[in-house]
Structure 1
Amino acid sequence: MGQSLMNRGNAGILAMLAAALLAASGGTSLAHPHVFAEARLDVAVNDDGEVQALRHLWRFDDLFSSTVLVEFDANQDLKLDADELAQVADTVFQSLAEFDYFQIVTADGRDVAMSVPERMVADFTDNQLIILFESRPKEPLPLQGKLNFGVYDPTFYTAIDFVEDEYMAVENMPGYCERQVVRPDADEAIAQNQQTLTEAFFNDPTGNDLSKIFATKLQISCTANG
């Protein structure tokens, strides 16, 4: 995937995401993912050693992308023009608002509030839908202690995968910090959370933390500044 994906422009994820969010009210049908995406996350750090922004890129599977194309190709010319791409981006943007745009950020185990992204950009290249957006912490977030960054769908409808560890990167990371990509072991995660994985947990129509348990995370561990 790499840098080439960052150059791809504006296309068609929204329909499937909107459908996914509508399906979230269906309960048990969401026991496993129906939509798949390869992702890249870049954590940008400013010169003061604070997290400036999270830059997201998601590339969706062929089936989902084809569905988006069919749903948003209003003039039926088998492509998505600028207006259609803008509609896709707006749909995704609105649909994911209540799910915090599938991102989770913690500092020493505490949730970090993120500002709403200014916008999303959709692109459709090589028959695949690509979504790009940037978000920022609501309050200054210094690189201290242990910070975790993850991307997951709480309804477990969409599986977001970071294929290579390099797809979770830190820009301008200080020398007093270390970066690690954490990929939870499925059996171990189930064992550690067995008491909470009840039938009610899986049938909760508002979503659950199952995908959070299995989500790949970027972990930044820092000693005292300097």
Structure 2
Amino acid sequence: MALIISLSFVLPAHDAIAHPHVWVTARSILLFDNEGNLTEVHHYWTFDKAYSAYITTGLDTNRDGILSEEELAPLAEENTVSLVDFGYFTKLKIKGKDQKFNPPKNYKMMMQDGQLVQYFELPLAVPAPAPKIIGFEAYDESFFVSFSLENTDKAVTLTGPIKGCTITISRPKQEDIDALSKYSEDYFANAGMGAQFSNKAVIACP
């Protein structure tokens, strides 16, 4: 992920600061077609203000004090296309099986209240026929980036002709995340660290 990699170049002088280094608040939409098949995941990722300021430095090419979608378009393309190297930071399980994705589409970035928002649509490689139980997570395995689902009833929603589904979200305890500050960077060499602090959604449909 280009913007994550570029940030890592400025970190060595601050090794004492443990993970995570970037915070993302996520809102996701699961899209169903007219036959009830799960076909896509649409993501809205809002980055923390400090990181948003860092990664957009110099992108206001017309110097009007406003970062337009057009000015952010090259960053949006580079960042979204390179998500493949990180599994799109998205885990979707149906009947216990990880689902695969096709490349993202309709991606863009925008600034909202001083924070960078990344939007993209992630199609399933093969639509899932009328799934009854769906497991959904968005996280970075290295925990360099901390993903948290938006603390609203729109954190994970469903779109399409599907009714009667329930969505249950579980989140890690904030005190457990805060406790990580006492560890050095070497502690996070375990590639599976991020999964321990992921936000999880279980969608159950009739």
TM-score by length of 2: 0.78
Q: How does 1:60-209 map to 2 (within 5 A)?
A: 60-74=47-61, 78-162=65-149, 163-172=151-160, 174-175=162-163, 177-184=165-172, 202-204=188-190, 208-209=191-192
Deviation at 1:58, TM superposition (A): 1.0
Superposition CA RMSD, Å: 3.1
CA–CA separation in structure 2 for the residues paired with 1:203 and 1:110: 26
Show CA shifts across 1:164-210 (max 9, x none): 2431111236345432223245899xxxxxxxxxx988325xxx222
CA distance in 1, matches of 2:131, 2:85: 29
Checking the alignment, whether the CA contact within 8 Å between 2:39 and 2:126 is kept in structure 1 is no
Give, in whole Å, the separation in 1 of the partners of 2:175 and 2:2. Answer: 34
Structure number with higher strand proportion: 2
Which residue identity is paired with 1:164? T
* Distance 1:137-1:23 versus aligned 2 partners, 3 A rule: farther
Q: Please state which structure has a larger fraction of its residues in helix.
A: 1
The percent of aligned pairs where both chains have the same amino acid is 26
Structure 1: which 5+ runs fail to align?
Answer: 1-13, 189-198
After superposition, residues 16-31 of structure 1 pair within 5 angstroms as: 16-20=3-7, 31=18
Q: TM-score, normalised by structure 1?
A: 0.72
Contact 2:20–2:143 at 8 Å: present in 1 too?
yes
Matches within 5 A, 1:28-43: 31-43=18-30
Equivalent residues of 1:69, 1:79 under 8 A apart: no
Change (3 A) 1:49 1:82: closer
Structure-1 separation of matches of 2:53 and 2:122: 27
Give the SS at the match of 1:137.
strand
Deviation at 1:81, TM superposition (A): 4.4
- Determine the C-alpha separation between the residues in 1 that align with 2:103 and 2:25: 22
Cα distance in 1 between the residues matched to 2:53 and 2:186: 34
Q: 1:93 to 1:33 in 2, by over 3 A?
A: same
Quick check: 1:219 aligned with 2:202? yes
Tell me the SS of whatever aligns to 1:70. coil
CA distance in 2, matches of 1:36, 1:161: 8
Q: Give me the whole-angstrom Cα distance separating, in 2, the residues matched to 1:122 and 1:218.
A: 25
Q: Offset of 1:104 from its aligned partner? A: 0.9
